[in-house]
Amino acid sequence: MPEYTPPLRDMQFVIHELFDAQSTFKGLPSYQEIDQETMNQIFEEAGKFASEIAFPLNQIGDHEGCTRADDGSVKTPTGFKEAYKQYIEGGWPSLSCDPQFGGQGLPQLVNSVLYEMLNSANQAWTMYPGLSHGAYECLHAHGTPEQKKMYLEKLVSGHWTGTMCLTEPHCGTDLGLLKTKAEPLADGNYSITGTKIFISSGEHDLAENIVHLVLARLPDSPKGSKGISLFAVPKFIVNADGSLGTRNPVTCGSLEHKMGIHGNATCVMNFDGAIGTLVGEPHKGLNAMFVMMNAARLGVGMQSLGLTEVAYQNSAAYAKERLQMRSLTGAKEPEKAADPIIVHPDVRRMLLTQRAYAEGGRAFTYWIALMIDTELNHPDESIRKETGEMVALLTPIIKAFLTDNAFTATNEGLQVFGGHGYIVEWGMEQYVRDARINMIYEGTNTIQSLDLLGRKVLGDMGKKLTKFGKIIETFIEEEGVRKEMQEFIDPLADIASKVEKLTKEIGMKAMMNHEEVGAAAVPYLRTVGHLIYAYLFARMAKIALANKSSDDPFYKAKLNTARFYFDKLLPETAMLIRQARAGSKSLMAMPAEFF
Amino acid sequence: MPEYTPPLRDMQFVIHELFDAQSTFKGLPSYQEIDQETMNQIFEEAGKFASEIAFPLNQIGDHEGCTRADDGSVKTPTGFKEAYKQYIEGGWPSLSCDPQFGGQGLPQLVNSVLYEMLNSANQAWTMYPGLSHGAYECLHAHGTPEQKKMYLEKLVSGHWTGTMCLTEPHCGTDLGLLKTKAEPLADGNYSITGTKIFISSGEHDLAENIVHLVLARLPDSPKGSKGISLFAVPKFIVNADGSLGTRNPVTCGSLEHKMGIHGNATCVMNFDGAIGTLVGEPHKGLNAMFVMMNAARLGVGMQSLGLTEVAYQNSAAYAKERLQMRSLTGAKEPEKAADPIIVHPDVRRMLLTQRAYAEGGRAFTYWIALMIDTELNHPDESIRKETGEMVALLTPIIKAFLTDNAFTATNEGLQVFGGHGYIVEWGMEQYVRDARINMIYEGTNTIQSLDLLGRKVLGDMGKKLTKFGKIIETFIEEEGVRKEMQEFIDPLADIASKVEKLTKEIGMKAMMNHEEVGAAAVPYLRTVGHLIYAYLFARMAKIALANKSSDDPFYKAKLNTARFYFDKLLPETAMLIRQARAGSKSLMAMPAEFF
């Protein structure tokens, strides 16, 4: 019953008007040829795939789930296999991959737009190609020439898929505890033995082969997280000529029954002496895996953006159709039995919350994607390094802020439907259930917050944050003199100075007591997230104001959404800052046995 | 896999120490005999039923759901019927019912304690007796002597159950639109025809008969909500001797597939000329139904309290067992592979959020239950009236504030479990799915907020609110002079004066523009909810301080939870007040077609 229309206009606004991506691409040798028209054509085609092929399978996937046969094989829901076939026939897996391995060499930004739409259409399905892309990036960065030759072309074309095997029953966050063993063999390969859980797309029927990237421990490894190595373990051993050989003993022991993302096979994977090859250096597996983790964290951000957008579209459509009660200021459509519920202020609050989080999230994720393109492609090393630092700073915010917001947004979407929102066939409750995992996997949002505050901000005494703050400061100085921008610049300057003060205060307290970091991290991350959205909405409002005499209602709507954001969502920081400043005392005082 | 232990100690604290219920009961003729020991014995027995009989069926009910056969009959999940049999054999349905009809004549407060535990154990199951109790209350208040004779004893004993049939496909909130028809028959009965949806416990196999309370429209009825009448429509016609006669044509057309509460049969009910009798006066059906709605709204509060408590218990147990990472201040259990996650400040934030919402919610709901006992039983009419007004003021807050908080709390509970929280067998995600409906049914939380701000507060120019405020003011004046209470009284006084100011401000704005009420209502309700919790936690802290030299760790824990509440949860009001004050402009500016 839900519908989905790719939001091409807003995507183009963000890419062409807000960030003028083409001018960035002009400075990046690999992307100099890319023009707006080419990008728009790709977006349009990607939108067709997402809305026409992937989207109709979303409720089917939720309803059917995956099934495992006694031999350990896994069947995906009806239509998933055919859609994946069309996906690889359309060349979509290769969009932003290295031409050396069959990729189309397009920017990460273009791939991000594709992923937003795929995730609006069908998050569970999108996780199959999504994790493959992460495996591609990891092997591309850390694989040996042999591994690249063996795996990359097939991952790029999508004929093979990839996974990420980290978690074990007794450890998720704390990977230092992991037990899976890797025994060196005489031929230079390794024999991998152990159990991994929560392996998304771990086994399925979409592709000929699956490349598992597995964290395991070598016999002589140091304890903890410094003794973990990374291995590539294929489902089928690959022969020297590239053909598939014997079945490797890596099998799906069972499928998890989950709250959502039913269409994705979440597997317990048993490695019983499975043959693998070392990726990167021994005991440096976590470093190699982090390439994939960072990509995955941005990927989770795109999932959440996608769900936010599709929930918004459906609840907005419902609110314009559903007749119930009269407007508080008198009947708006007196010829009808009641007014459409969009006349009610609180229904609009719920809709605009979703809309603002979709538009803010889009601006933020596309911005990062563009930074990644610069980080990976700029001819000047110092710019590559500097941009990489910005990406590192912002990645945990993308992950945690967008996933929290998407849970809020999908819940507001459900609420707009009233009782119907709770009924499966309307599709809104699936968005809530699917969105819920995003706050957990690829590092819980608490872990993201600790990464931001502890490592990225306090870890370098605020250097990266200060650099980022300069971007905002410059904008405030430039725009602060313009009267029509005052309604945006004043609160932006206010929250910027509060973040600066808060950071210093926590830094001081943390020197005395490390638990202050743990106590402040979650509200701190959300506060910085709002600083970023306030900055982005102010920039978007500036463009909207510049176009205020345009006939295009897009700019008026954008300006209104920005005003709503400053009025109703930014005030969350008033709570967050108080919570962060309240510190650790009332958290830590209670002895564990009192709980 | 989850566990549940009735929180008897905290229940007794609230009832005996915080509110000294017995002294209230001394002033109520019906309850003068009730002593603490009797109450405690009932709580203990009720806790056994909840934890030993209802609780083990919770995951089974979620997994199996209800099934409808072609003849329209509905089978409840395995064990539900047997548990219900034990429930009526134990006399639990009659606990707080009128002795004239076989009830035990115990206070509403005692029944509320029972319902907290039943809902912790199994919300879906509890809805069967829960709705019956509402039907009992409605017929007890508005039924004719014949209806009372025909139905009440069977509802009290639990041999028959009841439902509440309001919603139709095109109307939920806006009952004025309803179409179900009631045609008068020559014998004084009515023939009811129409379709009702979302009917909880509409059809099932637990009881011999089901009494549907149905809103329908008489032929000569005025338009809108002033033309709605209430009818009692039994599943089986009741013969003059009380035996069951022919099957009435009221049948379950289908069962809804829902996000949660799978164990409860949510039915589409078709009335095809079903025979019913009028309850109360013609065209005054909504008034009569409101007795039931108010009871149901408190009932939804109890559901949310129950879920909050059980989610807390399980995540606290998990956090004490699950080993992952080391404390930020160095290993706390160095002999183990890692520290239990309860050492981490943010895990404690999640646990204490649940705990504070459970303890605050318990104090609030039990307080209201005690007020209801006074409202219904006090010999002095003016006290009955005054207390009734307090109950009316607080009911929408109970409904919306507790259900929002329970959704937050159950989600925090899930999050503590990390990836395991997302897996069905651990049971945590069910609490989230079950809790989600509570924000919607019996009037969405937006409707509750409009009821509070528009009708209950501004509707009498703040008179009821001012009266309620006096209770808090008196406490502030009495305790404000004590230094050890300062940490609680200062923020309480602050939020009390802010609520007063905010109310006046919205009142002034509302006179100019009614949409200001709609724009402010939701954050306003939560702000008042926090005022109440701040007051209750301050009172609880006072008792804890008075017992600070006690060996009982209960008081230390209570004091700590109160401190946590003031530090970390009350600051939400800083956001809410800003949102409420921001008004309607950015909500209403955007034309509907821009959405």
DSSP codes joined into one string, A246-286: EEPSEEEEEEPPBSS-TTS-EEEEEEEEEEEEEESSTTBHH
Chain B residues whose CB is inside 8 A of the A127 CB are none
Interface test with A, best of B5, B10, B165, B174 (most A CBs within 10 A): B174
**A78 within domain boundaries:** yes
Here the CATH number for the domain that contains residue A136 is 1.10.540.10
- Tally DSSP H helices, then E strands, for chain B: 19, 11
Taking CB atoms and an 8 Å limit, are B568 and A585 in contact across chains?
no
pLDDT at A570 over 90: yes
Does residue B193 share a domain with residue B165?
yes
Taking CB atoms and an 8 Å limit, are B579 and A557 in contact across chains?
no
Residues contacting residue A474 through CB under 8 Å, at least 6 positions apart:
none
Chain B closest-CA separation from residue A465 CA (Å): 23
Contact A433, A260 (CB under 8 A): yes
Residue B2 has a pLDDT of 96
Taking CB atoms and an 8 Å limit, are A595 and B319 in contact across chains?
yes
Q: What number of residues does chain B have? A: 595
* Active site members of A: 442
SS3 letters across A60-111: HHHHHCCEECCCCCEECCCCHHHHHHHHHHCCHHHCCCCHHHCCCCCCHHHH
Chain B closest-CA separation from residue A591 CA (Å): 9
Cα–Cα separations (whole angstroms), residue A409 to A121, A307, A315, A562, B362: 16, 8, 10, 16, 29
Does residue A120 share a domain with residue A194?
no
Does residue A139 share a domain with residue A19?
yes
* Active site members of B: 442
What's the rounded mean pLDDT across residues A501-509?
Answer: 98
| Mean pLDDT over each residue of chain B, to the nearest integer | 97
Q: Which residues pair with A199 in a beta bridge?
A: A267
Confidence of residue B517 (pLDDT cuts 50, 70, 90): very high
Residue B520 has a pLDDT of 98
Tokens 């879920």 found at? B307
Chain B closest-CA separation from residue A197 CA (Å): 10
Please name the residue of chain B whose CA is at the shortest distance from the CA of residue A586: B564
Interface test with A, best of B10, B254, B261, B328 (most A CBs within 10 A): B328
Does residue A203 share a domain with residue A115?
no
Q: Residue B569 and residue B356: Cα distance in Å, rounded? A: 9
Q: Residue B531 and residue A288: Cα distance in Å, rounded? A: 51
Does residue A228 share a domain with residue A135?
no
Chain B residues whose CB is inside 8 A of the A260 CB are 422
Taking CB atoms and an 8 Å limit, are B436 and A432 in contact across chains?
yes
Tokens 């108080």 found at? A578
Report pLDDT digits (tens) over A44-71: 999 999 999 999 999 999 999 999 999 9
Residue B526 has a pLDDT of 98
Q: Residue B457 and residue B466: Cα distance in Å, rounded? A: 9
**A409 within domain boundaries:** no
Confidence of residue A293 (pLDDT cuts 50, 70, 90): confident
User: In this complex, how many residue pairs, one in chain A and one in chain B, have their CB atoms less than 8 Å apart?
Assistant: 268
Does residue A474 share a domain with residue A579?
yes
Q: Residue A356 and residue B587: Cα distance in Å, rounded? A: 12
Please name the residue of chain A whose CA is at the shortest distance from the CA of residue B418: A440
pLDDT at B1 over 90: no
Please name the residue of chain A whose CA is at the shortest distance from the CA of residue B583: A567
Report pLDDT digits (tens) over B74-87: 999 999 999 999 99
Of the three residues B111, B145, B179, the one that is the final residue of a domain is: B145
Chain B residues whose CB is inside 8 A of the A328 CB are 514-515, 517-518
Domain total for chain B? 3
The pLDDT > 90 percentage for chain A reads: 98
What is the crossing angle of helices B36-48 and B108-142, to 10°?
80
Chain A closest-CA separation from residue B557 CA (Å): 6
**B399 within domain boundaries:** no
Residue A144 has a pLDDT of 97
What's the rounded mean pLDDT across residues B555-574?
Answer: 98
Chain B residues whose CB is inside 8 A of the A419 CB are 167, 172, 197-198, 440-441
Taking CB atoms and an 8 Å limit, are A586 and B563 in contact across chains?
yes
Q: Which two tokens stand for residue B591?
A: 């034309």
Taking CB atoms and an 8 Å limit, are B586 and A592 in contact across chains?
no
Taking CB atoms and an 8 Å limit, are B177 and A429 in contact across chains?
no
Confidence of residue A291 (pLDDT cuts 50, 70, 90): confident
Of the three residues A263, A283, A303, the one that is the final residue of a domain is: A283
Does residue B43 share a domain with residue B107?
yes
Report pLDDT digits (tens) over B216-272: 999 989 999 999 999 999 999 999 999 999 999 999 999 999 999 999 999 999 999
**A180 within domain boundaries:** yes
Which residue among B355, B424, B440 sits closest to A422, beta carbon to beta carbon?
B440
Chain B residues whose CB is inside 8 A of the A438 CB are none
pLDDT at B107 over 80: yes
* Residue B555 neighbours by CB distance under 10 Å: 21
Here the CATH number for the domain that contains residue B204 is 2.40.110.20
Q: Residue A74 and residue A416: Cα distance in Å, rounded? A: 37
pLDDT at A259 over 80: yes
What's the rounded mean pLDDT across residues A236-249?
Answer: 97
**B105 within domain boundaries:** yes
Confidence of residue A467 (pLDDT cuts 50, 70, 90): very high
Residues contacting residue A518 through CB under 8 Å, at least 6 positions apart:
A450, A584, B328, B344, B345, B346
Does residue A188 share a domain with residue A79?
no
Confidence of residue B327 (pLDDT cuts 50, 70, 90): very high
Report pLDDT digits (tens) over B141-195: 999 999 999 999 999 999 999 999 999 999 999 999 999 999 999 999 999 999 9
Which residue among B328, B337, B518 sits closest to A344, beta carbon to beta carbon?
B518
Does residue A232 share a domain with residue A131?
no
Residue B292 has a pLDDT of 78
pLDDT at B291 over 90: no
Report pLDDT digits (tens) over A367-402: 999 999 999 999 999 999 999 999 999 999 999 999
**B101 within domain boundaries:** yes
Does residue B552 share a domain with residue B526?
yes
Residue B439 has a pLDDT of 98
Which residue among B433, B588, B595 sits closest to A345, beta carbon to beta carbon?
B588
Residue B289 has a pLDDT of 86
Please name the residue of chain A whose CA is at the shortest distance from the CA of residue B423: A258
What's the rounded mean pLDDT across residues B308-321?
Answer: 98
Does residue B176 share a domain with residue B114?
no
Q: Which two tokens stand for residue A513?
A: 């007591």
Which residue among A258, A560, A572 sits closest to B424, beta carbon to beta carbon?
A258
Does residue A239 share a domain with residue A137?
no
Chain B closest-CA separation from residue A475 CA (Å): 24
What's the rounded mean pLDDT across residues A84-109?
Answer: 97
**B345 within domain boundaries:** no
Chain B closest-CA separation from residue A442 CA (Å): 10
**B226 within domain boundaries:** yes
Interface test with A, best of B567, B570, B576, B585 (most A CBs within 10 A): B567
Please name the residue of chain A whose CA is at the shortest distance from the CA of residue B256: A423
What's the rounded mean pLDDT across residues A211-224?
Answer: 96
Q: Residue B427 and residue B430: Cα distance in Å, rounded? A: 6
The pLDDT > 70 percentage for chain B reads: 100
Report pLDDT digits (tens) over B14-61: 999 999 999 999 999 999 999 999 999 999 999 999 999 999 999 999
**Residue ranges making up the domain that contains A19:** 8-145
- The pTM of the full predicted model, rounded to 2 decimals, is 0.98
Residue A289 has a pLDDT of 86
Residue A294 has a pLDDT of 81
Residue B559 has a pLDDT of 98
Of the three residues A249, A283, A317, the one that is the final residue of a domain is: A283
pLDDT at A5 over 90: yes
E strand residue ranges, A352-431 = none
Report pLDDT digits (tens) over A313-353: 999 999 999 999 999 999 999 999 999 999 999 999 999 99
Confidence of residue B298 (pLDDT cuts 50, 70, 90): very high
Residue B551 has a pLDDT of 93
